[in-house]
Amino acid sequence: MTLPQSPDVASLKALVRREIETLRTEVGRRAAAAPIPREADRAVAADLAQECACGLGTGPSHSCRDGGEDHDPWACLCATLPAVPVSAALLSPVRGPDGGIADFLIRAGNHVRSAEWLPSPDQQVGRLFTEARPGVAAGGLIAALAEVVETGRALTGRVVDYTEEREGGLRRAQLVHYAASCDGQVLTTWHAVRDQAEMLTIDAQHLASMGWGRWDLLSGAVTWSEGMQRIFRSDPALPWTLLELCDALVPADSGPFGEFLSSVLAGEEPAWTRVRFTVLGEERTVDLLGRPVTDTDGRSWAIQILAHDLTPQMRSRRRVVEKQGEADQLRQQAAAERHVAGALREALLPSYSEGLAGLGLTAAAAYLPAEQDAAVGGDWFKCRPLANGRALIAIGDASGHGLDAVARMAQQRYAVAGLAQTGADAGAVTTWLNELVAGDWAVDTATVAICLYDRDRVLRWASAGHPAPLLLRGERAFPLPTGHRGPLLGALSGHPYETAEFPMLPGDVLLLYTDGVVERRGQDIEVGIDQLTASLADCRGVSPRSVVDRLAEEYVRSAHDDDACLLAVRFD
């Protein structure tokens, strides 16, 4: 995609259209040249399909109550259930003495759970619906399903507040039900309206003023997160196309936005720009990070964009500038620029707060890339005072590199900061963060160590698979006890993380780090931890900044394959 030197919005849109049309033409030509399957291939495929029907072959993924010599697998509706991505069951009506439908028998079901505490439908085959799902009686679902049988009209989108007593307590989930009749039976599906992990993800986007979207250049399909919809004030069902984004650009920014799209489609990762959009009459300033989705020949067929809304910061800066004189205006403008740059680093790379002196803390930190020109990874840290008078000291490692790792790092880092403001202890914050990570199918595991320090001089901390912080006390350095450490984030949904306490003394220096500091190829990680502990002991009597600088120099001199973070905090 080649841009003129000063493109306007119209020429930018024309270039986008040409790029998409060229892509579709090339892909369509390749698809037309694909070989047509032979009759022998079709016969083999048909045999394989027949083997999977109703469990007659190997590896059935659904359970069916029907069977017998005269059972026709091709005529059984339940053979389609494994293809349904939500909970699905085939029900037969059970009529009472008066001839009315009193219940349903579960004849078949798939393996998908609608909630972690509810069994999958295939585990309940052969049972009455009200026995397998006792909460449906109170929700009016039996009557609704009976109406589907009697009238033939499908049930679409009925929300049921489903409550059931399990494990000595009441559990509730909002479930959306769909149903249709078929030959006197009912095929019904249901799924959760929204689970806790999804809510935490949405809250994390809101706290970070971030969102992400995906544009499929072949089909034209656009997918936006709720954070993206909030930034652009769009209808959830109508996310903007690339052409609509061009229409919303402030005209002066069409050049930078065009260069950004060109970089993304050319495979540069991550590509970055800052542009302004007009949204419902308001000018919004947004930082964009983008990367392409490519096929095997390197051609970009979709793009993914992470957006960080800077509008509130820019609005605050304008208010300050308006209230100052011309000389003060220039000074405030420079300070605001530094603030905006710091806000961007907060979203993409770790930083630490300087507002800790009131709690008697001094902090220093460093992000250590394994290679100077490497893409940003998932290592992060957070050190800041909280509204309740405590201090948050945290460090974590989201897997991967590039745009995906940046998104996960920002999501987890801002989620920790937001959850810590609730006043909960470190174990509860870690437990909630684990549910966020475990509930997102696109997110791999991660590690985190979360510390909360109060005025009583006690450090309360929790760990999810993260190396233990090291403490320098006097002339001795040692790791904090880790008997309470839990599994990696996302590895075990529902795991309750514990909080440990450790008293701090004046002059103590706490060092938090990610595993990239101590991992070396061909060497046990415990050896690296012992070496780091010895190096920390040699730093007695120096400031946190000097501690971090010395350890960073050792990191640079050693051979490392992974990025790393260091965070040193002195307790005075």
> Tens-of-pLDDT digits for all 572 residues of the chain?
666 666 788 888 888 888 888 887 877 676 555 444 445 444 433 443 343 334 433 344 445 555 555 556 556 777 788 889 999 999 999 998 998 999 999 999 999 998 888 999 999 998 999 898 888 877 788 999 999 999 999 998 888 878 888 777 778 788 889 999 988 899 999 988 765 555 556 566 666 688 889 999 888 889 888 888 888 988 877 899 999 999 999 999 999 999 999 888 887 767 889 999 999 999 999 999 998 888 766 778 889 998 999 888 877 776 766 666 665 666 666 555 444 433 444 554 545 566 788 889 999 998 887 665 444 567 889 999 998 889 999 999 988 766 577 778 888 888 999 999 999 999 999 999 999 998 887 678 899 999 999 989 999 999 999 999 999 999 999 999 999 999 999 999 999 999 999 999 999 999 999 998 998 888 888 999 999 999 999 999 999 999 999 998 888 777 677 788 999 999 99
Q: Are 303 and 294 in contact (CB under 8 A)?
A: no
- As annotated, the residues of the chain forming the CATH 3.60.40.10 domain(s) are 350-571
Name the phi and psi angles at 7, rounded to 5: -75, 145
Q: Which fold has domain 62-193?
A: Beta-Lactamase (3.30.450)
Which two structure tokens, joined as six digits, stand for 349?
Answer: 């790379």
Which amino acid, 480? L
In the chain, count H helices and then E strands. Answer: 15, 21
Radius of gyration over every alpha carbon of the chain, rounded to an integer in angstroms: 29
Distance, in Å, from the CA atom of 364 to the CA atom of 221, rounded to the nearest integer, reads: 45
Residue 54's pLDDT is: 47
- Count of C-beta atoms within a 10 Å radius of residue 500: 19
Residue 235's pLDDT is: 80
Q: Which fold has domain 9-30+198-320?
A: Beta-Lactamase (3.30.450)
Distance, in Å, from the CA atom of 552 to the CA atom of 365, rounded to the nearest integer, reads: 10
At residue 192, the 3 state secondary structure works out as strand
At residue 161, the 3 state secondary structure works out as strand
Residue 556's pLDDT is: 79
- As annotated, the residues of the chain forming the CATH 3.30.450.20 domain(s) are 9-30+198-320, 62-193
Nearest to 308 by CA among 259, 281, 337, 346: 346
Give per-residue burial for 78-100: e unless 16+ CB within 10 Å, then b: bbebbebeebbbbbbbeeeeeee
| CATH number, span 350-571 | 3.60.40.10
First to last CA, the chain: 57
- Count of C-beta atoms within a 10 Å radius of residue 374: 12
Can you state the percent helix, strand and coil of the chain, rounding each to 5? 40, 30, 30
Who's near 179: CB < 8 A, 6+ residues apart? Answer: 144, 145, 148, 154, 155, 186, 187, 188, 189
Distance, in Å, from the CA atom of 421 to the CA atom of 55, rounded to the nearest integer, reads: 52
Residue 81's pLDDT is: 87
Distance, in Å, from the CA atom of 277 to the CA atom of 406, rounded to the nearest integer, reads: 23
DSSP secondary structure of 242-283: HHHHHHHB-GGGHHHHHHHHHHHHTT-TTEEEEEEEEETTEE
> How does DSSP classify residue 172?
E
